[in-house]
Structure 1
Amino acid sequence: MSATAVGSATALAGCAELLGGGDGLRVMVWSGNYADRFEEGLVSQWEEDHDTDIQVERGWDGVLEQIRNAPEDDPPFDVTVAEGNFYYYGRQDDLFEPIDRDNISNEDEIMDFFTEIRDPEYGMPVDGAPCTIIHREDADVDPETWADLSGDAVANSEGVGIDTGFWWYPMYAAALGMGEEGDAEVMYDEDNHEEILEAVDDWGVDEWASSGEDIWQAFDNETIDVAQWYYDQTAYDIDDEEGLTHTMPEQTTGWINNWCVVRGTDRQDEAEEFIDFLLDAEVQSTWAEDHPMMFSNENIDYPEELEDDLPTTDEEARDVAFPDWEFLSEHDGDLSEAFDSMQHSS
């Protein structure tokens, strides 16, 4: 994903940083350069044509906890971003208002896959990113698939960096490398989980990163030659890094945000107007110029340097294996504990 990663959503804690003030629509976004680019590429567009100000709040692991702890009729913000884990657990605790679909004029332009993998009743799929493989240009590694991370070239390299907080993405990447059909179906048999964890461990992980900065620093320190990371944190940022490139596997995993109206807001119509704005093809096309994310509208026009990597059709979107939290929630505690144990013993 982006910026600082977190552990299991079952232990959400922390707080958000408020930017701005006044009576604007309060919108929670991910901290770090996601928020920076959100303000540059999205809020600026909104403010050109709307009278309602956007009051951006930055947060991460405490997003759901803030809503839980607030009075039901006095939420801490009006709209929130929610990656799959957050969307699942937020719905279980009734933290979001049902979306009035009559207020979502752009719903018909969403690629079908994004509404099939998660019911959009409480949040509309807007933006996200596939996982990509960063690697050193002058090293004897040139991974093209997740299976290549289990090959001899990577085993003989300086090492691998992966995300520590969102453990499900390295696991899904490893599952894709094991799957005979290039899919992650092996994740959905709990008997395979130990083998998948072993596959991650066998990559030779030397950097258990909690942020993109950790990954870039590990490359600078020459402690890794390869890394699993996220396209939105890589495609533009890698130009600032000497001697590095990245390859997006044809079959990969990734994340997608569903945008939700927060329980108890008295600004539901404005919140839904904003979410509908996020779904607009022209808005997403302009947003992509500042933030290299995967977007949900089938009519998006990506910048030339992104269009070969990111899905522009429903068929292409289906090459991204998004974690299914209806299933993962049953194994969340055990897998999180096993992943932590693997990290601490490495």
Structure 2
Amino acid sequence: MAADPDRVAETSESATEPTTDTERSSVSRRRLLTTTAVGSATALAGCTELLSSGGGDPLRVSVWSGNYADRFEESVVPKYEEEFDAEIQIERGWNDILTNIQTAPDGDPPYDVTITEGNFYYLGRQDDLFHEIRTENVPNADELIDYYSEFRSTEYGMPVDGAPCTIVHRENVDFEFESWSDLSAPAVQESNGIGVDTGFWWFPVYAAAVGMDEAELGEEMHDADLHDDVLETVRNWPITSWASSGEDIWQAFRNDVIDVAQWYYEQTEYDIDDYDGLTHTMPEETTGYLNHWCVVKGTDKRDRAEEFINFLMDSEVQTAWSEEMPTLFCNENTEYAGDLADDLPSNSEEASNIAFPDWEFLADHSGDLSDAFSEIQRNS
């Protein structure tokens, strides 16, 4: 996933990163408001525009840091390099990804391809940081699950992977979790407390909205008149840990600071057995993030970048990828490893049960929502 929105990449007018929470919040508000703001050879057959990638400089690919990058390098990079006889140079990052692109000299971007979640994808498009995707170079787009190609523009980036949010909890909590509304249940109120993501504030907020019944599947977040109700729900949760990483969540469980947490399926499903007494339950209706992969404007490897994105979208690649990373994938022909298909969407109907944040709407309200979330954190 991308960076803390309160540490969001600055506009191209500034080359330095804000250093305090207040400064970061201010930059985020200004930034949003001023902008309105193993691929198979068979899959590539007939696509004459895609040339062999062999030789030349490595393709520079920006990915999220942490275990996402570890698993990406283990499962995806070797397959691409073997198939195309080409080198991939992985660049790990979080909040610095857009800043690095914005502050680079014209015609010399730091990456050829970058990952973005919804917030970064929106901001990058506002700042004209990405090339349009030439669909003739990404034939695997024809195999996208319809929902992923329709709910958010694919003009500048292709949906590839993502993750829903899940409820992490102790096995001995005397309660059967089913919905995000359960974070308001008496059993949770009486527990040691809840851990939530403080970096990506919109996910715990959307989770609260999904658990409400005033609108359909988190649509409370797309009605400014209901924002106070959503924030009041979060305010009433017994939050005792504000996490900026998965390690923060696991440490809070180890220290008996929390008994329940909002976190991400992709960072939980394959790791939770490493922690005694913990399990997780993903509600049928939830929130989550979706990664759009983009070609960075100014690259001299535009064809290869689109070839790489097409590779990531291949069903065989995604099937193999799922053995290393429990993330949702967007190709309708992907076959998930193990039992992942029991939890992760394989069609539009299942995908539509995830309330992905709508940044076209949120941009005008992000400052107020971020401020309110920060106030809840300070007062907890």
2:58 maps to 1:59: no
Tell me how far apart the structure 2 counterparts of residues 10 and 177 of structure 1 sit (CA, whole Å).
Answer: 31
Q: How well do the aligned residues superpose, as a CA RMSD in angstroms?
A: 1.7
1:97 corresponds to = 131
- The structure 1 residue matched to 2:189, chosen from 152, 155, 163, is 155
Aligned to 1:340, what secondary structure does the other structure show?
A: helix
One-letter amino acid of the counterpart of residue 118, structure 2? G
Given candidates 84, 108, 111, the residue that maps to 2:118 is 84
Q: Please point out which of 239, 243, 248 is paired with 2:282.
A: 248
Does residue 1:227 correspond to 2:226, yes or no?
no
C-alpha separation in 1, matches of 2:337 and 2:159 = 21
Q: Is the 8 A contact 1:5 1:211 kept in 2?
A: no
Q: Is 91-100 or 180-189 further displaced after alignment? A: 180-189
The reply on whether 1:198 has 2:197 as its aligned counterpart is no
1:26 aligns with 2:60: yes
AA paired with 2:166?
A: T
Letter in 1 for 2:58: G
Q: Distance in 2 between matches of 1:223 and 1:282?
A: 42
Q: Which residue of 1 aligns with 2:176?
A: 142
Q: CA deviation at 1:203?
A: 1.1
Gaps of 5+ in 1: 15-21
Identify which of 193, 205, 213 aligns with 1:171. Answer: 205
> After superposition, where does 1:1-346 map in structure 2 within 5 Å?
1=1, 5=4, 7=6, 9=8, 23-180=57-214, 183-346=217-380
Specify the code of the residue in structure 2 equivalent to 1:219. F
For 1:316 and 1:34, locate their aligned partners in 2 and report how far apart those are by CA, in whole Å.
24
CA distance in 1: counterparts of 2:163 and 2:376, whole angstroms: 26
Task: Identify the range of structure 1 (277-286 vs 136-145) with the bigger mean alpha-carbon deviation.
Answer: 136-145
Identity over aligned pairs, percent: 59
Q: Secondary structure at the match of 2:6?
A: coil
More displaced stretch, 281-290 vs 298-307: 298-307
Q: Which has the larger radius of gyration?
A: 2
Aligned residues: 339
Q: 1:289 to 1:216 in 2, by over 3 A?
A: same
* TM-score, normalised by the number of residues in structure 1: 0.95
Cα drift, residue 345 of structure 1: 1.5
Corresponding residue number in structure 2 for 1:17: none
Counterpart of 2:258 in 1: which secondary structure?
coil
Residue by residue, what CA displacement relative to the aligned partner does 1:56-75 show, whole Å, maximum 9, x if unpaired?
00011011111111122111
Q: CA deviation at 1:304?
A: 1.9
TM-score by length of 2: 0.86
Check the 8 A contact 1:179/1:185 in 2, yes or no: no
Tell me the CA shift for residue 23 of structure 1: 2.2
Q: C-alpha distance in 1, partners of 2:308/2:378?
A: 43
Find the aligned partners of 1:342 and 1:10 in 2 and give their Cα distance.
Answer: 24
Deviations 1:267-305 (A, max 9, x none): 000000000000000000100100100000011100122
Aligned-pair distance for 1:170?
0.5
8 A contact 1:124–1:260 mirrored in 2: yes
Unaligned 5+ residue runs, structure 2?
18-55
